[in-house]
Amino acid sequence: MANVLCIGAGYVGGPTMAVIAKNCPGHRVVVVDINAEKIAAWNSERLPIYEPGLDEVVRTARGRNLFFSADIGPNIAEADIIFVSVNTPTKTFGHGAGRAADLQYWEKTARQILENSTSSKVVVEKSTLPVRTAQAMERILNSNDRGLHFDVVSNPEFLAEGTAIQDMEQPDRVLVGARQTASGREAMQAIVDIYAEWVPRERIITANLWSSELSKLVANAFLAQRVSSINAIANLCEKTEADVAEVAHAVGTDSRIGPRFLRASVGFGGSCFKKDILNLVYLCEHYGLPEVAAYWEQVVKMNEYQGTSFVQKMVAAMFNTVAGKRIALLGAAFKANTSDTRESPALAVCRGLLEERASVVITDPYALANAQADLGEQAEQVVFEPDPYVAARDAHAIAVLTEWSHFVELDYEAIFQSMVKPAFVFDGRNILDHKKLHAIGFNVYAVGKPPLTNFTA
């Protein structure tokens, strides 16, 4: 039996450790966090994050071999293996501000581990980090004069919010990177053995430390690049009466390209894509590769354009003014099936509409509290309404910004009746039945498709 500890009980630490505990009943798994309120929520009936299937997994293992605690020091002392999944946001100050990763939480954790350790340990990088961070971690940890030895292993997390439990239970792959030394290989094996309890061995990839660290950044850069690529083409479709869904289908059926991540939209969001690409950009610049940096930076710029141009298209369609007009935003979460609003395009659109002095109301099944917090002072100008029918009442327009399936099933006939005419729908996720909406009487604008309007002149 191993004592497994995870430092950081966020979107990654909580779900990943719950799945490890569920599948490894022989190990004791403790998750700690500096945020005592979050730990209290993990110990309650209302978990701090919404993720399909999470409640069941936590219920199976919590109190058996899964524990959440705010008591960090003693749990470090007892642990054999420590996963670190603290936040690594983009730096907002000093050199590299706006691009480089802010490693202050990471480094504090390393020092905390060192301070509280009385035995040698394996430390696992679960957070997404710049390539070669493990070297800094090793240097801090092995600077002790107590004869303690620490092996640092990279095990980046590839889960996607909204499908985190499924992604963890049946991962495409698990990646474990370590130093190619005797103790490095032993540490790597200890982590491989944990996953091998439920993941087929051929899906557990081992690599050198630096390849492992870099692979996570590259995976996110490639995923985001596909979104920006199809969104770039969506803009051209709008100018040429091509339909981006038809183009994506025709292109995606090429087996070399594949169909996934080719849905045009108002843009990608979430805490990771932008931050990880900017981190990659910074690394390329740091290593003297400005052309490579510029290539990847364009993926982020394209995404920002997608949000601002969506607002511009709304304003243009609504007779060049939205000032004072009630506009209902369907969705605040950055994607469906999560309560997370970090970097959500919905909030970017909301801010853009507020600048145009629109009267904005946002509806979302799980993300309203986070949206309110993320909007800060601007939240005072926004109405947060859990009921989409109430949100749409007396609105000039509705805009779909998160692909929640229940938005597809709403009674749009009733919504149309309750709205100001002419009524507009802006489908930023291309999920609604546009022909049906058009037939009801809406003026329908989707991404990368010709608009369907009911104007006669």
Ligand X SMILES: NC(=O)c1ccc[n+]([C@@H]2O[C@H](COP(=O)([O-])OP(=O)(O)OC[C@H]3O[C@@H](n4cnc5c(N)ncnc54)[C@H](O)[C@@H]3O)[C@@H](O)[C@H]2O)c1
Q: Are the C-beta atoms of residues 16 and 126 closer than 8 Å to each other?
A: yes
- Which residue is associated with the tokens 């002095």? 357
Distance in Å, CB of 420 to ligand X, minimum = 38
Nearest partner of 353 among 385, 312, 398, judged by Cα: 312
Nearest partner of 164 among 338, 349, 302, judged by Cα: 338
Distance in Å, CB of 162 to ligand X, minimum = 9
Q: Which two tokens stand for residue 220?
A: 């996110």
Q: Taking CB positions, which residue lies at the least distance from ligand X?
A: 10
Contact residues for ligand X, defined by CB under 6 A: 7-13, 32-35, 38, 72, 85-88, 105, 108-109, 112, 127-128, 157, 159, 161, 271-272
Distance in Å, CB of 236 to ligand X, minimum = 31
Distance in Å, CB of 30 to ligand X, minimum = 12
- Vertex 353 angle, CA 348 and 358, to 5°: 150
Active-site residue list: 272
* Continuous segment of H or E residues that includes residue 357: none
Q: Are the C-beta atoms of residues 125 and 113 closer than 8 Å to each other?
A: no
Q: Which two tokens stand for residue 261?
A: 């991540």
Nearer to ligand X among residue 38 and residue 449 (C-beta): 38
Nearest partner of 150 among 127, 180, 184, judged by Cα: 184
In order of 36, 67, 109, the CA distances from 62 in angstroms are 17, 6, 24
End-to-end CA gap in the chain? 75
- Angle at which helices 133-141 and 209-240 cross, to 10°: 150
Nearest partner of 371 among 401, 399, 406, 395, judged by Cα: 401
Nearer to ligand X among residue 157 and residue 427 (C-beta): 157
Q: Residue 100 and residue 79: Cα distance in Å, rounded?
A: 31
Three-class secondary structure of residue 328 per DSSP: strand
Nearer to ligand X among residue 83 and residue 442 (C-beta): 83
Cis peptide before 422 (omega within 30 of 0): yes
Distance in Å, CB of 362 to ligand X, minimum = 22
- Vertex 36 angle, CA 340 and 113, to 5°: 100
Nearer to ligand X among residue 336 and residue 353 (C-beta): 336
Nearer to ligand X among residue 278 and residue 391 (C-beta): 278
Nearer to ligand X among residue 35 and residue 211 (C-beta): 35
- Number of alpha carbons in the 13 Å side-chain half-sphere of residue 371: 35
Nearer to ligand X among residue 13 and residue 177 (C-beta): 13
How do beta strands 121-125 and 326-330 pair? Answer: unpaired
Q: Which two tokens stand for residue 328?
A: 């209902």
Distance in Å, CB of 158 to ligand X, minimum = 7
Distance in Å, CB of 237 to ligand X, minimum = 30
